[in-house]
Amino acid sequence: MITRPTTDALIGDCCQELTDAILPALTDETLRLRLVMTETVLRNAAVRAAHEIAWMREETAALMAYAAEVAARHGSEPLHAAMAAVEAEPPESLHLADVTGRYERAGQAFEKALAAAQEAGAADLIAQARDLLRHRIATEKQVMASYVVVGR
Amino acid sequence: MDALGPRFERFLAVVEPAREGRVVACEAITGGYSRISARARVQWRDGLEETFILRGDPPPGSGVFASDRDAEWELLSVLPTATPVSTPAVRWYDGSGEYLGSKAIVMDCAPARSLQDEMARAGDAGSLTDLFVDTFAAVHGTRLDRLPARMLRPPDWPAYLDGVLAHYDRMAQEYPSSAPVFRYVTWWARTHQPPPAPLGLVHGDCQPSNVLVGPSGPPLVIDWEFAHIGDPREDLGYYTQIPLEPNVYWVDPERFLRRYRAATGLTEEQVNPQTVDYFLIIGMTALLEQLLAAAAAIGAPERPGILAPYLINAISHQHDMFLAICDRLS
C-alpha cells in the first residue's frame, strides 16, 4: 500500500486543484457555488479521514464507561440490552464500518443510560452526560474545517 | 435565454391567452437553499413589459429542504387579507408542473432590495433594525382565522410545545447519531419551560434577507414556505442563528427585544434573551429534521445533491448551539 501521501493529504490536494485551477474558470454562478460547497465537504472529509477511527474508539470507550456506571446504579432492561448490543460488535476491528457500527451502538447505549439517569433524577450522572456531549460536539467542530454559509 | 423561458412563454399562452406574452429574458436567481427561482421579463402584445419571479420545486429527490408548494400558494393567496404586512403579489400557479417543469408559483417581481443588503451597506442599521422588528411583529399579528384551513392549529400553547418536543423524540428514534443530544436537550426543555405566549403565525425563515425594501412603499415579506401556526418567539430564536452579517439581534439584543415587546404587547417575562434562546431550539425542529433526512440520504440511489453533505456542518452547529443554550439557561 502506498502510505504517503496520506488520505487527508490527497483530499487536500484535490481541494487545491478545485479552488486554484477549476473555480476561476467557472462562470456559471450556480456551478461556482456547488464547487465551493464540494470543496468544503472534501476539506471536512480530509479531517475525518485523518482522525475518525481514533476519535470514535476513544468516545466509544467513554460512552460505555458512562453506561456501565449508570447501569450499576439505575440499571434497566433497555440499557442492559443496548450495552449487550455494543459488545456484539467486533471490538478489535479497525475497519471503518465496524468501528462506526460499534460507535453507533455505544451512542444508543449512552442515550438509554442518559434516559435512566434523567428518570432517576441523578443530577451527577446528568452532568456527566452533558460533559460527554460537550466532548462529542467539540469533535464535531474539529470536523467542521470551516462553517461559512455560501449561496444565501 | 434559459430553457425555462420558452416553457414560461407556453404557460403564459395558457393563463393569459389574449395578451400574447413573449419572454424576452429569463435568468436563474442564485441564493436560497430550498426552491429554484428565476426572474423573467415578459413583453405583452400591447407593449407593456412586466418582470416576474418563478418559484418552483427542485427536481424530485434533489435538494435538502422540502416544502409544500400547494400550501405556499394557498397561503400567499390569502395573506393579503390576513396580515398587515405586504406580501408578494401572486399571479399564476402551475400546480402540476406540466408547463414549468415542476410546481411553480409566478409572482410579481418587486423593484426592491434585500433588507439584509441594506443593513450591510448602512453605517448605522438602527432604523433598519426597527423596520425588521416591526415587520415581523406585524407578521405575528396576522389573523389566524383568515389563514387556510389546511394549516394545523394547535389547541393551545402547552399542547403545541409538547408536540414540538415529542417531534424531537421521534427524530431521536429516526436519527441515532443525534439521539444523545436530542435526549439531553428535550429533557432540559421540558424542565425549563418559559411562560406561554399567544400562538400566532410563524414565518419560519425570519431574516432580513426575506424582507425586500424599495424606494417607496412598505417592506415586502417573502419566502413563506415554512410558515406555520406556532409560538412567534420561534422566529426570534431562529433569527439569532442566522450567520449573515450584520445579525442585528446580536448588535444589541435588549434594544431589539424592547422594540419587539413594544410592537406586540408581550411582556419582558415572555420575551427576553433567555426565552429567545429557548425558542431557537423549538423553532429549528422542522429544518433540522430536513437536514438530518438529507444527510441520511447521502449514498442512496437518489442522492440529494451536494447541499446535503455541505449542510452536515449545520447539524453540528445546531448541536453546539442547543447544548450551549442548555448551559446558559440552566
Task: Flag whether pLDDT at B187 surpasses 90.
Answer: yes
Evaluate whether B249 touches B260 at the Cβ level (below 8 Å): no
Instruction: Describe the crossing of helices B285-297 and B157-174 by its angle, rounded to 10 degrees.
Output: 10
Per-residue pLDDT, B300: 86
- Cα–Cα dist B220/A122, whole Å: 51
The residue that leads in pLDDT, B261 or A1, is B261
**Range in A37-51, A55-69, B31-45, B97-111 with the lowest mean pLDDT:** B31-45
State the count of interchain CB pairs (< 8 A) between A and B: 87
- Cα–Cα dist B27/B4, whole Å: 8
The residue that leads in pLDDT, B320 or B66, is B320
A107 with B319: Cβ contact below 8 A: no
The shortest C-alpha distance from B330 to chain A (Å) reads: 11
A111 with B180: Cβ contact below 8 A: yes
The angle formed by the CA atoms of residues B187, B191 and B195, to the nearest 5 degrees, is: 130
Q: What is the mean pLDDT of residues B295-322?
A: 90
Residue position matching grid coordinates 418587486: B110
**pTM of the entire predicted model:** 0.90
pLDDT band at B25 (very low <50, low <70, confident <90, very high): very high
- Helix, strand, or coil here: B53? strand
B200-240 pLDDT per residue, tens: 999 999 999 999 999 888 999 999 999 999 999 999 999 99
- Cα–Cα dist B168/B206, whole Å: 21
Question: What is the residue type of B157?
Answer: W
B73-127 pLDDT per residue, tens: 999 999 999 999 999 999 999 999 999 998 999 999 988 999 999 999 998 999 9
- Helix, strand, or coil here: A124? helix
Residues 6+ positions from B204 with CB-CB distance below 8 Å: B224, B225, B226, B227, B228, B234, B235, B238, B283, B286
Q: What is the mean pLDDT of residues B146-169?
A: 97
- Cα–Cα dist A66/A125, whole Å: 8
Chain B residue with Cα closest to A130: B184
The shortest C-alpha distance from B9 to chain A (Å) reads: 23
Per-residue pLDDT, B65: 83
pLDDT band at A66 (very low <50, low <70, confident <90, very high): very high
The residue that leads in pLDDT, B64 or B262, is B262
A147 with B244: Cβ contact below 8 A: no
Chain B residue with Cα closest to A110: B180
Task: Flag whether pLDDT at A145 surpasses 70.
Answer: no
B240-274 pLDDT per residue, tens: 999 899 999 999 999 999 999 999 999 999 999 99
Chain A residue with Cα closest to B114: A152
Task: Flag whether pLDDT at B34 surpasses 80.
Answer: no
